[in-house]
Amino acid sequence: MCIFKKVAKILIVAALCISYGKAEGNNYVPIAPGVKSIEITLNNQTFTLSRVQDKKNKISELYAYTSLGVPQPMILAKGVETIAELELIDYMKKAQTDSSIAIIDTRTPGWFARLRIPGAVNVPYTNFKYRDDAVDMMEDYMGVVINDDDTLDFSKAKTVVLYCNGYWCGQTPAMVKNTKYSLLNLGFPAEKIKYYRGGMQAWTSLGFTVVGDAAK
Protein backbone atom coordinates (compact mmCIF):
# COMPACT_ATOMS: atom_id res chain seq x y z
CA MET A 1 0.00 0.00 0.00
CA CYS A 2 2.86 2.41 0.84
CA ILE A 3 4.43 1.79 -2.56
CA PHE A 4 1.15 2.63 -4.27
CA LYS A 5 0.89 5.88 -2.29
CA LYS A 6 4.43 6.89 -3.27
CA VAL A 7 3.74 6.13 -6.93
CA ALA A 8 0.51 8.15 -6.77
CA LYS A 9 2.36 11.12 -5.25
CA ILE A 10 5.00 11.01 -7.99
CA LEU A 11 2.30 10.92 -10.67
CA ILE A 12 0.52 13.94 -9.16
CA VAL A 13 3.71 16.03 -9.11
CA ALA A 14 4.49 14.95 -12.68
CA ALA A 15 1.00 15.97 -13.78
CA LEU A 16 1.44 19.42 -12.24
CA CYS A 17 4.72 19.89 -14.05
CA ILE A 18 3.17 18.87 -17.36
CA SER A 19 0.19 21.15 -16.76
CA TYR A 20 2.12 24.26 -15.76
CA GLY A 21 5.49 23.86 -17.43
CA LYS A 22 8.93 22.35 -16.98
CA ALA A 23 10.12 21.90 -13.41
CA GLU A 24 13.55 23.18 -12.46
CA GLY A 25 15.61 22.45 -9.37
CA ASN A 26 14.46 23.47 -5.91
CA ASN A 27 16.14 26.82 -5.34
CA TYR A 28 13.44 29.13 -6.69
CA VAL A 29 10.15 30.78 -5.75
CA PRO A 30 7.47 28.44 -7.17
CA ILE A 31 4.03 28.95 -8.63
CA ALA A 32 3.05 25.42 -7.64
CA PRO A 33 5.12 22.41 -6.48
CA GLY A 34 7.86 21.91 -9.05
CA VAL A 35 6.72 24.81 -11.24
CA LYS A 36 8.83 27.93 -11.72
CA SER A 37 7.17 29.52 -14.74
CA ILE A 38 4.51 29.14 -17.42
CA GLU A 39 4.58 30.41 -21.00
CA ILE A 40 1.23 31.93 -22.00
CA THR A 41 -0.08 33.61 -25.15
CA LEU A 42 -3.30 35.49 -24.50
CA ASN A 43 -4.98 38.34 -26.38
CA ASN A 44 -2.04 38.57 -28.78
CA GLN A 45 0.42 38.86 -25.90
CA THR A 46 3.06 36.24 -25.16
CA PHE A 47 4.58 36.35 -21.70
CA THR A 48 6.26 34.26 -19.04
CA LEU A 49 4.16 33.99 -15.92
CA SER A 50 6.23 33.50 -12.78
CA ARG A 51 6.90 34.95 -9.36
CA VAL A 52 9.67 37.41 -8.53
CA GLN A 53 12.73 35.31 -7.73
CA ASP A 54 14.39 37.89 -5.47
CA LYS A 55 13.51 36.57 -2.03
CA LYS A 56 13.91 40.06 -0.58
CA ASN A 57 11.39 41.57 -2.98
CA LYS A 58 8.57 43.54 -1.35
CA ILE A 59 5.00 44.24 -2.41
CA SER A 60 4.36 47.14 -4.78
CA GLU A 61 3.93 50.51 -3.08
CA LEU A 62 0.56 50.81 -4.82
CA TYR A 63 -0.76 48.11 -2.48
CA ALA A 64 1.35 48.70 0.62
CA TYR A 65 -1.30 50.46 2.71
CA THR A 66 -3.72 48.52 4.90
CA SER A 67 -6.28 51.32 5.21
CA LEU A 68 -7.70 51.12 1.70
CA GLY A 69 -11.40 50.64 1.06
CA VAL A 70 -13.95 48.37 2.72
CA PRO A 71 -13.47 44.56 2.60
CA GLN A 72 -15.70 42.91 0.01
CA PRO A 73 -17.71 39.76 0.79
CA MET A 74 -16.24 36.41 -0.15
CA ILE A 75 -19.35 35.56 -2.17
CA LEU A 76 -20.65 38.49 -4.23
CA ALA A 77 -23.94 36.86 -5.18
CA LYS A 78 -25.60 33.48 -5.44
CA GLY A 79 -23.99 31.46 -8.21
CA VAL A 80 -20.94 33.73 -8.60
CA GLU A 81 -17.78 31.75 -7.84
CA THR A 82 -14.89 33.34 -5.96
CA ILE A 83 -11.48 32.10 -7.10
CA ALA A 84 -7.82 32.44 -6.10
CA GLU A 85 -4.53 32.66 -7.97
CA LEU A 86 -4.12 29.09 -9.20
CA GLU A 87 -7.70 28.99 -10.48
CA LEU A 88 -7.12 32.29 -12.29
CA ILE A 89 -3.96 30.92 -13.88
CA ASP A 90 -5.85 27.83 -15.03
CA TYR A 91 -8.44 30.07 -16.70
CA MET A 92 -5.64 32.05 -18.34
CA LYS A 93 -4.15 28.85 -19.72
CA LYS A 94 -7.51 27.63 -21.01
CA ALA A 95 -8.32 31.01 -22.55
CA GLN A 96 -5.36 30.61 -24.90
CA THR A 97 -7.37 28.15 -26.99
CA ASP A 98 -10.90 28.66 -25.66
CA SER A 99 -12.52 31.87 -26.87
CA SER A 100 -15.46 31.35 -24.49
CA ILE A 101 -13.26 32.52 -21.58
CA ALA A 102 -12.41 36.20 -21.02
CA ILE A 103 -9.92 37.52 -18.46
CA ILE A 104 -11.14 41.01 -17.61
CA ASP A 105 -9.68 43.86 -15.57
CA THR A 106 -12.69 45.87 -14.35
CA ARG A 107 -10.74 48.92 -13.13
CA THR A 108 -10.66 52.35 -14.67
CA PRO A 109 -8.11 52.89 -17.50
CA GLY A 110 -5.65 54.74 -15.26
CA TRP A 111 -5.31 51.79 -12.89
CA PHE A 112 -5.07 49.40 -15.83
CA ALA A 113 -2.23 51.42 -17.41
CA ARG A 114 -0.34 51.57 -14.13
CA LEU A 115 -0.22 47.89 -13.26
CA ARG A 116 -2.16 44.86 -14.47
CA ILE A 117 -2.14 41.12 -14.93
CA PRO A 118 -0.68 40.31 -18.36
CA GLY A 119 -3.13 39.11 -20.99
CA ALA A 120 -6.18 40.76 -19.38
CA VAL A 121 -8.44 43.14 -21.30
CA ASN A 122 -9.76 46.33 -19.74
CA VAL A 123 -13.54 46.66 -19.40
CA PRO A 124 -14.00 49.48 -16.85
CA TYR A 125 -16.86 49.08 -14.38
CA THR A 126 -17.86 52.68 -15.15
CA ASN A 127 -19.35 51.45 -18.43
CA PHE A 128 -22.11 49.77 -16.44
CA LYS A 129 -23.74 52.97 -15.25
CA TYR A 130 -25.79 53.24 -18.45
CA ARG A 131 -27.55 50.46 -20.32
CA ASP A 132 -26.25 51.26 -23.80
CA ASP A 133 -22.64 51.31 -22.61
CA ALA A 134 -23.09 48.12 -20.60
CA VAL A 135 -24.69 46.29 -23.52
CA ASP A 136 -21.89 47.41 -25.84
CA MET A 137 -19.29 46.02 -23.43
CA MET A 138 -21.11 42.71 -23.08
CA GLU A 139 -21.45 42.41 -26.84
CA ASP A 140 -17.80 43.31 -27.53
CA TYR A 141 -16.11 41.31 -24.76
CA MET A 142 -18.52 38.86 -23.18
CA GLY A 143 -20.28 37.01 -25.98
CA VAL A 144 -23.71 38.54 -25.40
CA VAL A 145 -25.90 39.02 -28.48
CA ILE A 146 -28.31 41.94 -28.94
CA ASN A 147 -31.55 40.82 -30.58
CA ASP A 148 -33.46 42.94 -33.08
CA ASP A 149 -35.98 43.87 -30.38
CA ASP A 150 -33.13 45.06 -28.12
CA THR A 151 -33.43 42.09 -25.76
CA LEU A 152 -30.24 40.25 -24.81
CA ASP A 153 -29.31 36.69 -25.71
CA PHE A 154 -26.99 35.11 -23.13
CA SER A 155 -26.93 31.62 -24.66
CA LYS A 156 -23.33 32.10 -25.82
CA ALA A 157 -22.16 34.26 -22.94
CA LYS A 158 -18.49 33.79 -22.10
CA THR A 159 -17.11 32.74 -18.76
CA VAL A 160 -15.79 36.07 -17.48
CA VAL A 161 -12.97 36.10 -14.94
CA LEU A 162 -13.04 39.50 -13.25
CA TYR A 163 -10.61 41.28 -10.96
CA CYS A 164 -9.87 44.76 -9.64
CA ASN A 165 -7.51 46.17 -7.00
CA GLY A 166 -8.04 43.76 -4.14
CA TYR A 167 -10.11 42.50 -1.26
CA TRP A 168 -11.24 46.04 -0.46
CA CYS A 169 -11.93 47.23 -4.00
CA GLY A 170 -15.51 47.85 -5.08
CA GLN A 171 -14.98 48.06 -8.84
CA THR A 172 -15.65 44.41 -9.71
CA PRO A 173 -18.58 44.21 -7.26
CA ALA A 174 -20.04 47.31 -8.95
CA MET A 175 -19.85 45.68 -12.37
CA VAL A 176 -21.29 42.42 -11.08
CA LYS A 177 -24.19 43.67 -8.96
CA ASN A 178 -23.91 47.17 -7.49
CA THR A 179 -24.82 49.39 -10.43
CA LYS A 180 -28.25 49.80 -12.03
CA TYR A 181 -27.08 48.09 -15.22
CA SER A 182 -24.71 45.58 -13.64
CA LEU A 183 -24.13 42.16 -15.19
CA LEU A 184 -26.60 40.43 -12.90
CA ASN A 185 -29.23 43.14 -13.20
CA LEU A 186 -29.11 42.79 -16.98
CA GLY A 187 -29.47 39.02 -16.79
CA PHE A 188 -25.90 37.78 -17.28
CA PRO A 189 -25.69 34.17 -15.98
CA ALA A 190 -24.21 34.15 -12.47
CA GLU A 191 -22.52 30.81 -13.06
CA LYS A 192 -20.51 32.39 -15.90
CA ILE A 193 -18.99 34.98 -13.54
CA LYS A 194 -15.73 34.21 -11.70
CA TYR A 195 -14.54 36.73 -9.10
CA TYR A 196 -10.83 36.93 -8.31
CA ARG A 197 -11.37 38.70 -5.00
CA GLY A 198 -7.68 39.08 -4.13
CA GLY A 199 -7.13 41.17 -7.24
CA MET A 200 -3.96 43.15 -7.75
CA GLN A 201 -3.16 43.32 -4.05
CA ALA A 202 -3.03 39.54 -3.70
CA TRP A 203 -1.37 39.09 -7.10
CA THR A 204 1.45 41.53 -6.29
CA SER A 205 1.82 40.24 -2.73
CA LEU A 206 2.80 36.88 -4.24
CA GLY A 207 5.19 38.49 -6.70
CA PHE A 208 3.41 37.32 -9.83
CA THR A 209 4.28 38.81 -13.21
CA VAL A 210 2.72 42.20 -13.87
CA VAL A 211 2.89 44.71 -16.72
CA GLY A 212 2.27 48.44 -16.89
CA ASP A 213 3.92 51.77 -16.19
CA ALA A 214 4.60 50.89 -12.52
CA ALA A 215 5.97 47.39 -13.19
CA LYS A 216 9.46 46.80 -11.83
Q: Is 130 within a domain?
A: yes
Q: Is 6 within a domain?
A: no
Residue-by-residue DSSP string for 15-41: HHHHHH-----SSS--SBTTB-EEEEE
- pLDDT of the residue at 39: 98
* Of the listed ranges 31-40, 52-61, 201-210, the one predicted with least confidence: 52-61
Query: What is the tally of structural domains in the chain?
Result: 1
Residue-by-residue DSSP string for 156-173: TPPEEEEE-S-TT--HHH
Mean pLDDT over 120-137 rounds to 97
Q: Is 3 within a domain?
A: no
Longest dimension (CA), the chain: 65
CA distances from 85 to 79, 169, 184, 189 (A): 19, 17, 24, 23
What confidence category does residue 172 fall into, taking pLDDT thresholds of 50, 70 and 90?
very high
- pLDDT of the residue at 26: 64
pLDDT digits (tens, 9 = 90+) for 109-125: 999 999 999 999 999 99
For residues 65 and 141, the answer to whether their CB atoms sit within 8 Å is no
- CA 24, 27, 32, 36 dihedral sign is negative
Domain that holds residue 91: 56-205
Q: What is the CATH number of the domain that holds 96?
A: 3.40.250.10
Cα separation, 137 vs 179, whole angstroms: 15
Mean pLDDT over 89-104 rounds to 98
Q: Is 170 within a domain?
A: yes
The total number of residues shown for the chain amounts to: 216
Q: Has residue 11 got a pLDDT over 90?
A: no
Mean pLDDT over 58-79 rounds to 92
Q: Is 136 within a domain?
A: yes
Q: Is 192 within a domain?
A: yes
